[in-house]
Structure formats: structure tokens, C-alpha cells
Structure 1
Amino acid sequence: ARPGPGFDKSGDFIFSFRQFTSSVFYGKDPEYINKVRVEVVDPARDLFLGIINKILNKSESGYLVGNSLTWADIVIADNLTSLLKNEFLDFKKEKKLEEFYTRIHSIPKIKEYIAKRKDTNI
């Protein structure tokens, strides 16, 4: 099964988000970083989250593709981690995404890996 139309747009979002993270990493001017956040990342994020929400709303299993965990679920859950850590995502406003994130991060092997991996903002 395929994730559905629009899922490939996640790559567009990742490119936009990298503009933000690289600006922070390389110590760009805070005004420039905020401009990238507002003009580039926020609109791309809204499109990305809209697509993921749409897929999850149609999903009977709670997974992005089919009835079990796939690579897509792991990648998107990791993307959500980066969004959370950089204050681009508020689970109080995104309950469906929070449920998805919690489901994926509750899988024992993933939970174990996350507990051991280096903590970064991306």
C-alpha cells in the first residue's frame, strides 16, 4: 500500500525545515532565522501536517500505510520529534498527531532506541 496523494510533499517540508536548522547551526542573525521560520517553515509545516492529518484521519489502523508499522511511520514520527523540539508543533492543538507520535514512540524497540540516542534538536 502507498501512503496516498501528497505524501511526497513531506520532502518539500524537510527541505524547508533544513533551511531553518542550518541557519541556527551556522549562527545566522536571529532576525534572519525568524524570517525563515515565518516565511518558509511555517507555511511548509502547515501543509505537511495537513497532509499527515488527512492520511491519519482516513487510516483505520492509526498507521500511515496499511495495518502495521512501516518505515513511513518511523520517519514521520522522527520528523514530529524535530518539530516538537524546535517549537513548530503543539500537541495541544494536534491531538491526532499526538496519538500517532505516542503510538510509534511506545513501540518497545523504538522507545529503547530513543532512550539511548544522543539528544539533539533535529
Structure 2
Amino acid sequence: MLGLEAKTVEEQALCDMYAEHAQDVFEKLRPWVITFTRCIMKEYFEQREKRTQEVFIPVVKQDYGPIFEKRLKENETGFLVGDHVTWVDIFIAEFTDKLLTFGPNEVFENFPLLKKHHQKIVNYPTLQEHLKTRPDYVF
């Protein structure tokens, strides 16, 4: 799997667990995502800020940031699992990227390790090289 797999069965289970947690967070964010994607229509645009305050900020501050901040602090390698980049690092960095891009960035102020992890992974040399050479797709 391109060298992105975990080394042990226990680490593989941790990768799966953190990815599933991110999926659970996405489900909690669904009302915010739906409003955000529809905000081009005036009636939804007015709900965007309300949904951001009621859904996005509490979910990120309570269910997303603390979990990954704690994990990064415990692991001390700069990666979520093990001592090298795994597929779950890329998965979480991509999800964090979406949250930073479309949500208020100040919600991540209390999660410096998560922000550092995001930067480390999106700037990872192997990933950057792949992004330069991958084919363009419509989707």
C-alpha cells in the first residue's frame, strides 16, 4: 500500500479507529455541510453562520480537535500512529484541510499539534511529488 500501512496489527487497528472517528465527526457535521453547500441560495446563506455556531464550532472543539491533539501528544512522533507517515495521517490531514478551508480557523487555536500535523502531512515531500505528477481528473 505504497508504504503507508502501519507496521503492526495493533497500529493497523489504531489507524482504522481514528479514521472511523473522523467519519463519525463528519456525520455530526452533516447539517453544517448541507447548509454550507447550499449557501449560494439566499435562504441558506442566512443559516450558514447559525449552523457554524451551533454545529461546526462545538463539534470541532469537542469531538475532533481534542481527540487528535491528545493522540499526537501521546505518540510524540508527529504522526498519529507509529513512527512514520501512514494512510490515516493523510486521511486526517485532508479532513483537517477541509475544516480549515471552509470553517473559521480560530476554532483550531487550541489544537497546535493538529495544525502542525496538517502542515507536516500536506507538505510531505513524497505527497508533493505525487501531486505534481498525478493526472488531472474531472472529479
**Which of the five TM-score ranges fits, normalised by the shorter chain?**
0.7 to 0.9
| Structure 2 unaligned spans of 5+ | 1-10
Pair 1:48 & 2:60 matched: no
Match of 2:3 in 1: none
Pair 1:13 & 2:25 matched: yes
What is the DSSP-based 3-state SS (H/G/I as helix, E as strand, rest coil) of the residue aligned with 2:114? helix
Match of 2:5 in 1: none
What is the DSSP-based 3-state SS (H/G/I as helix, E as strand, rest coil) of the residue aligned with 2:14? coil
- The whole-number CA distance in structure 2 between the counterparts of 1:115 and 1:21 is 31
Match of 1:23 in 2: 35
- The whole-number CA distance in structure 2 between the counterparts of 1:11 and 1:98 is 19
Pair 1:109 & 2:120 matched: no
Give the percent of matched residue pairs that are identical in Structure 1 and Structure 2.
24
Contact 2:72-2:80 at 8 Å conserved across structures: yes
Q: Give, as a single letter, the amino acid of the residue that structure 1 aligns with 2:44.
A: D
What is the DSSP-based 3-state SS (H/G/I as helix, E as strand, rest coil) of the residue aligned with 2:105? coil
Q: How many residues align?
A: 117
Larger helix share, 1 or 2: 2
Query: After TM superposition, where is structure 1 displaced by more than 6 Å over at least 4 residues in a row?
Result: 114-118
1:95, distance to aligned residue in structure 2 (A) = 2.0
Taking structure 2 as the reference length, the TM-score comes to 0.68
| C-alpha spacing 1:53/1:117, structure 2 compared with 1 (3 Å) | farther
Contact 2:72-2:78 at 8 Å conserved across structures: yes
Q: Which moved more, 1:107-116 or 1:58-67?
A: 107-116
Q: Which has the higher contact order (CA 8 A, sep 6+)?
A: 2
What is the DSSP-based 3-state SS (H/G/I as helix, E as strand, rest coil) of the residue aligned with 1:3? helix
Q: 81, 85, 94: which one pairs with 2:111?
A: 94
> Aligned-pair RMSD on alpha carbons?
2.8
| Structure 1 unaligned spans of 5+ | none
Contact 2:52-2:103 at 8 Å conserved across structures: no
Taking structure 1 as the reference length, the TM-score comes to 0.76
Contact 2:32-2:48 at 8 Å conserved across structures: yes
